[in-house]
Amino acid sequence: MTSQSDETGENDPQHGSAQPQSTPAPVGNSSGKKPAESELVVGKLPGQLAWPIDKASPALPAHLEQLADLAREYVEAASSPNTRRAYDSDWKQFCSWCRRQGLEHLPPDAQVVGLYITACASGAATGNRKPAAVSSVERRLSALSWHYRQLGERLDRGDRHIATVLDGIRNTHGRPPAQKEAVLPEDLIAMLETLNRGTLRGLRDRAILLIGFAGGLRRSEVVGLDVADDQTEDGRGWIEMLERGVVLTLRGKNGWREVEIGRGSSDSTCPVIALETWLKLGRIAHGPLFRRVTGGGKTVGPERLRDQEVARLVKRTAVAAGVRGDLSEGDRAAKFAGHSLRAGLASSAEVDERYVQKQLGHVSAEMTRRYQRRRDRFRVNLTKAARL
C-alpha cells in the first residue's frame, strides 16, 4: 500500500531488468552463434537483480539456496538504486531497438552495439528522434557492459566498431557538461526565509538546506543519513553530534569518508543548530535522519525521504526566493537542483582549495574546480607574472 504524503512526486516508475528476448534470425551477428536455451537463463526474485543460473545444473541444496539469496543481495548492494534504475531502463531500450531492427542482442556483438550508439547519438534510437547527449550515450554503453556481465557475457568496448564510433560521437557532439547554478550564501539565506519555521516540515527543510550546503553533500548523501551507526539496512551514513559541530560518516563509491560541519557564526544560519532543532522537535532518536512529514507539516513519519525531494526543495525555494530573478520561472527551476548546494560551498568557501576538495570527497583538485562556478579565475595572473 502506498503511504500518503504531502510530498509531490513520491513514486517513480519501476524498472525491471529486461530478460533475453526472442528475436528474428541473427543479422549483423559476427559469430553467427545463438546461445542455446539450456546454456543460460536468468533467475530473478521479485525486486532483485538477475542472478545467472545454469539451467542444466541440478537443484541447489537448501544451504546453497540461502547463499544464492545472499549473493543476490550483495549484487544489489554493488550499485545505487538510481544507477540500477537507469541501467535497467537503458537495457530495455537496447533490447527493444534490436527487436525493431531484426537484430540479436545475444551474444554481444560489437557491430550491433556500434550501430545502436550511432542511433542514440543521431536520435534514431527512440521514437521522438531526440539525439542523446554524449554523457547519455556513454552511460548507455556502460549499462550494456554491466548487463552483459550479469549474463556471463563480455562486451569488448575496445573493438573498433564501438571505440572509434564513440570517439567520433564525442568529437562531433561533445560539449562542456551542463552545470546546475550554484546556490551562494546570500541565495541560501533568502531561500531559508521562504520556509515556515512553525511546521516540522519547515524545520526539516531548513536543516536539509543548511547541512547539504555546509557539508557539500550530494542529495543521496543527505537522505541516506541515519541518526547513529548501523540503525537501518538502507542507510548510507550517520551523524555524530559534538560540542563544536557534527561529524558525518558517509559511504560512497570510493569507500567511507568523514565530513566535519562546524557551528556557524550566527544561530539563524547555523547548520548544527538547525539539525539539533529538527532532531528535538521531530522527536527523532533512531533510524533515518530526514523523513517524510505529513498531516499539514505536523507529523513525522517513519519513511526515509527520497533524494528527488532534495532537488525539488532546492528548486522550489530558489524560485520562491527570487534567486536569478533575471530569468523566467521555468528557466530558474531548470537551473537549480540538489547539486546547487554542493556547488555553492565550492564556489563560496574562501579557504585553501584542498580543504574544499576534502569536504566534497573529490580525488582530484580538477574535479573540485568544476564545482567552483564563480571563483576568482584571475587570482593568479600568469600574464603579469611573466612581466607582460
CATH of the domain at 140: 1.10.150.130
The pLDDT assigned to 321 comes to 94
Instruction: For residues 159 and 289, give the distance between their C-alpha atoms in angstroms, rounded to a whole number.
Output: 47
CATH no. for residue 284?
Answer: 1.10.443.10
Taking Cα atoms as reference points, which of 325, 333, 339 lies closest to residue 370? 339
Number of domains into which the chain is organized: 2
My answer on whether 295 and 255 are in the same domain is yes
Confidence class for position 331, pLDDT limits 50, 70, 90: confident
34 pLDDT more than 50: no
My answer on whether 126 and 202 are in the same domain is no
Quick: pLDDT tens for 162-203. Answer: 999 999 999 999 887 777 888 999 999 999 999 999 999 999
My answer on whether 120 and 221 are in the same domain is no
Quick: pLDDT tens for 248-261. Answer: 999 877 788 999 99
Cell digits for 236? 548510507
266 domain-assigned:
yes
Quick: pLDDT tens for 348-362. Answer: 877 777 877 788 777
**Which whole-number Å values give the CA distances from 76 to 12, 13, 89, 107, 307, in the listed order?**
18, 18, 16, 24, 18
Quick: pLDDT tens for 111-147. Answer: 999 999 999 999 887 766 788 999 999 999 999 999 9
Instruction: For residues 290 and 256, give the distance between their C-alpha atoms in angstroms, rounded to a whole number.
Output: 20
Instruction: For residues 14 and 357, give the distance between their C-alpha atoms in angstroms, rounded to a whole number.
Output: 35
82 pLDDT more than 90: no
The pLDDT assigned to 8 comes to 39
Residue range of the domain that includes 50: 41-173
> What is the DSSP code (8-state) at residue 268?
G
310 pLDDT more than 90: yes
368 pLDDT more than 90: no
In this prediction the pTM is: 0.69
Taking Cα atoms as reference points, which of 364, 358, 316 lies closest to residue 183? 316
Quick: pLDDT tens for 36-77. Answer: 333 333 334 333 444 454 444 456 787 788 888 888 888 777
My answer on whether 320 and 292 are in the same domain is yes
Taking Cα atoms as reference points, which of 171, 174, 192 lies closest to residue 183? 192
Count the Cβ atoms, other than its own, within 10 Å of residue 118: 17
Residue 258: strand, helix, or coil: strand
My answer on whether 216 and 351 are in the same domain is yes
Q: Where are the beta strands (DSSP E) in 28-77?
A: 41-43, 51-53
